[in-house]
Structure 1
Amino acid sequence: MRAKRTYRYRFTNDAYVALIVLHIIMGIFINTIPQFSTLYFAVVCVFFIFKVIVTPKREKLIWVLFGASYFVAAESLFRMTGGGLFYEFSKYFVILLMLMGIFYDGASGKGYPYFIYLILLVPAVLVASTTLGYDLNFRTSVAFVLSGPVCLGISALYCYDKKVSKEVLLQIVACMSYPIITMTTHLFLFNPSVKEVLTSTGSSFATSGGFGPNQVSTLLGLGMFAFTVRFFLKSPSLFLKVFNLVLLAAVSFRALVTLSRGGVFGALIMIAAFLVIFYGSAKFRQKQQIIVSVVLLISVAFTTWAISLNQSSGLVGNRYANEDATGREKSDVSTGRVELFVNEFEGFQEHPFLGVGASGMKQSRLESEGAIIASHNEVSRLLSEHGMFGILILMILILKPLDFRSRHHNNIFFYSFLAFWFATINHSAMRIAAPAFIYALSLLHVTNEKPPLRRKPSPELSK
């Protein structure tokens, strides 16, 4: 009787380079033929749904994760080019893929805290149904603030304790890099001369493809992490090392000139967490190679920083030093985020049990200031809009991954993923799907892939 074959996913570096080149070409097409973005969007939607449906059961997990990682990285690209079906589509598409995965592959019973987490979101909807005024549409307002948390909960339910090899985990990270390269190409063509458009140290829509700099910077930061990982773990040749460093420099430059600092700081935290774990788990000889690679990485980082200073006439430096265009120090380093945080914490103090309801703080600011101002901070939003349930939600989100980590130590990106989630929700809330899905990746059970056994031929058979 034949032994059951273990499925092993393999993806060559040649295929990786080819896909990067393909996505550069697609970035050129999007810039020259605006309608191409819609075609691109439709093709990748159909492709990933098709792959999840037709692949054997043992491969469905991989294609669910590939599809989700690709779409969270492409979200800002589709938004800025108008290629997506609607604004929040990427979150709903990730939810769809995860539900398909649960349907075909099931979910671990040990992930039940995330089911409780989803239930804890419901009271805020009930409160909102009685408090939101006519100026805020109930359905769209609630969907906007809860689509991200629901995406996180369902993604976490599916990913919890799912077994993947280290190779698959690396390819999940690689999948994020492809649409980010397309977006980076589009940004260079959309705004080839940074000097012509940067006149202040405020976040720049012109250098962000005409779209929200905060969101673009966040995903470019994710690209910085992806190419750093590729440089250290999947660049065995000189060509691949140079290739990935050039891509890293290009993505880092575009992230810096958005003048939105959150994505860049998030990337640096992710990279630092990865390198600490990678270096700590390496053997002596490998540690020496890592040190050489880190020196090379720092050299590229300083070169990229110098180019960004030159191309922005020093405004990038002013921005990161919290100065205006004339070099005077700004009074608020948080650009209004601290004030919003305090405002939402006051909402929690006034309504500590059930909170003000989903989008309740928007309603409050609309009444007091006459403008709809969305939260930048998911932590304060959870407290103000969910009250004591928000505290329970935060406890689940923080403690459950740490509990999982205490038993499973093979995910080299665990702290990077968790750091990205926490950093992003503190400067951009959950405007994009990335923090929700990246958080779920920290719950994967990464296994050491065993090479196939090679038995020596029997002496009798060799005669």
Structure 2
Amino acid sequence: MEKKEFSTFSYIKIIILHLILGAFFYFFRPLSIGYSLAIIPLGIFFIIKNKNKNNEALFWAAYIVGAEVFLRMTKGNIGNEYAKYGVIIFMIMGIYYKGISKKAFPFLFFLLFLMPSAIYGVVSLSFDVNIRKALVFNLLGPICLGVSSVYLKDKKISFPDIDKLTRWILYPLLAMIVYIFLYNPSVIEVVTGTDSNSATSGGFGPNQVSTVIGLGMFVIFVRLIFFSKSVFLIVFHILLLFLFSYRGIITFSRGGVYTGIAMIIFLIFFTYFFVNVKTKFKLTVISSLMILSGFVIFLYSISQTGGLILNRYKGEDALGREKESKFSGREELAESEMQMFYDNPILGVGVGMNKQYREEMLGIIGASHNEITRMLAEHGLLGVINLLILLIVPIINYLSNKQYIFLISFYLFWFLTINHAAMRIAAPAFIYGLTLLKFSFDEEPVIHRE
């Protein structure tokens, strides 16, 4: 694990490089495929070169998770599941060099329990459905989660490692934010309603953009609280937090913003148990300032959207009328999947079948947004067992590792994200794996504010 302190100068240099990348790929978008092609080979090279001694597998997986939505946004992605494949490759290499804990066996069962319904799905899918695509779309997220969990269970991580982890997630997110600002510098010109807005999300899916921006908000807050040892870094991270919060709000996709805020609140709460009175006071002051700033950012967002963002968060349409669905129709999809589970409680309807089954049953065409109901619908009883594994193991880990102040925030990111965005991207799968790490303080966790 990385113990040597990373200099502010090196940190800013790498940030500037990624800011330039964001601008460069806005003007020369086809070249982003070169960036995409470089990540996995470079990760493999450094993992092999260092034999994963510094847990390079973890940090390269973090980087590709941070880069995924940016790569999709710029069309640099080599297939939609590029990042999930990258995470799986890095995690398997980590397993090769560092092995697995005996306590990882629940996740070996988790992976095994995915198979019966996958086989059933292959048999059941109609001939006009692309079976490979249907299986990959629905199964690769859980496989990514399972493999990440097998490798990361009980791996030791310390405060310097959290420093590096948050940096590696943040770097590509900064490139994405620059791209989004260049893609849409004037919000008021493109906002005409209260639906999620791809124009304010870099031309890509607002739900996924909001999700990673919410993760970015949390990562920046962690860096602000624990790793800003100079006035310059304090001001810099506050500015970044403002920018991320603003762009997250105006995607008009609420899930990622709510998730980022929830992660920050729980981190503050759990940090209170491990700091002295002086630091608690500082944390209270910072938190109060962040709340006040949040209101200011939201008010600014209201002014930039002609008040439509307020309607969105109130569940109203552009004319101020209450919408029939508070969750953009997701509840109807979830209800149909629960009905599939009730009708097929043993093996479920089979992997990839929920979309076809829903269309035949209700005439509704749409993919699931909720990983919990999708798992129940497609996997039946084995889906119930797998969900119990996912829900319970991190809690057990926390009970034996209460110093791990980041665990509940990571757990919340996974749980809230899969309830509104399923596992379309690799982030919830990888972040779930982080809940299983064995965390210890090398030194007392002090917020660096002298």
TM-score (norm 1): 0.93
2:51 and 2:97 in contact (8 A); partners too = no
**Which deviates more, 315-324 or 167-176?**
167-176
Q: Show the 5 A alignment for 1:257-406.
A: 257-368=250-361, 372-406=365-399
1:181 and 1:251 in contact (8 A); partners too = no
Letter of the structure 2 residue corresponding to residue 255 of structure 1: G
Q: Identity of aligned pairs, percent? A: 42
1:288 and 1:65, CA in 2 relative to 1: closer, same or farther beyond 3 A? Answer: same
Cα distance, 1:56 vs structure 2: 4.5
Q: What is the aligned partner in structure 1 of residue 143 from structure 2?
A: 150
Matches of 2:211 and 2:2 in 1, distance apart?
Answer: 34
Helix, strand or coil: the match of 1:264? helix
Letter of the structure 2 residue corresponding to residue 250 of structure 1: L
Task: State which of 410, 425, 429 in structure 2 corresponds to 1:436.
Answer: 429
Q: What is the aligned partner in structure 1 of residue 88 from structure 2?
A: 95
Helix, strand or coil: the match of 1:164? strand
Matches of 1:372 and 1:11 in 2, distance apart?
Answer: 50
Q: What is the aligned partner in structure 1 of residue 221 from structure 2?
A: 228
1:7 and 1:233, CA in 2 relative to 1: closer, same or farther beyond 3 A? Answer: closer
Q: What are the superposed Cα offsets for residues 238-296 of structure 1, whole Å, 9 maximum, x if unpaired?
A: 21111001111111111111100010011111111111011232110111111121122
Q: What is the aligned partner in structure 1 of residue 447 from structure 2?
A: none
Letter of the structure 1 residue corresponding to residue 150 of structure 2: L
Q: What is the aligned partner in structure 2 of residue 46 from structure 1?
A: 41
Task: State which of 160, 163, 170 in structure 2 corresponds to 1:177.
Answer: 170
Letter of the structure 1 residue corresponding to residue 377 of structure 2: S
Matches of 2:297 and 2:141 in 1, distance apart?
Answer: 33
Matches of 2:443 and 2:348 in 1, distance apart?
Answer: 50
Q: What are the superposed Cα offsets for residues 208-251 of structure 1, whole Å, 9 maximum, x if unpaired?
A: 11111100100011101111111111112221111001111111
Helix, strand or coil: the match of 2:228? coil
Q: What is the aligned partner in structure 2 of residue 114 from structure 1?
A: 107
Gaps of 5+ in 1: 1-5, 452-463
Helix, strand or coil: the match of 2:157? strand
Q: Show the 5 A alignment for 1:53-64.
A: 53-59=48-54, 61=55, 63-64=56-57
Q: What is the aligned partner in structure 2 of residue 28 from structure 1?
A: 23
Letter of the structure 2 residue corresponding to residue 348 of structure 1: F
Letter of the structure 2 residue corresponding to residue 8 of structure 1: K
Matches of 2:410 and 2:442 in 1, distance apart?
Answer: 21
Q: What is the aligned partner in structure 2 of residue 37 from structure 1?
A: 32
1:245 and 1:300 in contact (8 A); partners too = no
Task: State which of 102, 107, 125 in structure 2 corresponds to 1:132.
Answer: 125
Q: What is the aligned partner in structure 2 of residue 73 from structure 1?
A: 66
For the pair 1:15 / 2:42, whether they are aligned, the reply is no
Q: What is the aligned partner in structure 2 of residue 455 from structure 1?
A: none
Letter of the structure 2 residue corresponding to residue 344 of structure 1: E
Matches of 1:141 and 1:17 in 2, distance apart?
Answer: 42
RMSD (Å), alpha carbons? 1.5
Cα distance, 1:14 vs structure 2: 2.5
Letter of the structure 1 residue corresponding to residue 432 of structure 2: Y
Helix, strand or coil: the match of 1:435? helix
Matches of 1:427 and 1:348 in 2, distance apart?
Answer: 19
For the pair 1:412 / 2:402, whether they are aligned, the reply is no
Cα distance, 1:300 vs structure 2: 2.3
Helix, strand or coil: the match of 1:355? coil
2:274 and 2:403 in contact (8 A); partners too = no
Q: What are the superposed Cα offsets for residues 112-159 of structure 1, whole Å, 9 maximum, x if unpaired?
A: 000000000001111112211123211110111000000000000000
Cα distance, 1:369 vs structure 2: 5.4
Matches of 1:450 and 1:53 in 2, distance apart?
Answer: 31
Cα distance, 1:170 vs structure 2: 2.5
2:22 and 2:176 in contact (8 A); partners too = yes
TM-score (norm 2): 0.96
Largest Rg, 1 or 2: 1
Letter of the structure 1 residue corresponding to residue 245 of structure 2: S
Cα distance, 1:7 vs structure 2: 6.7
Aligned residues: 444
Q: What are the superposed Cα offsets for residues 286-314 of structure 1, whole Å, 9 maximum, x if unpaired?
A: 11111121122223222211221111111
Helix, strand or coil: the match of 1:426? helix
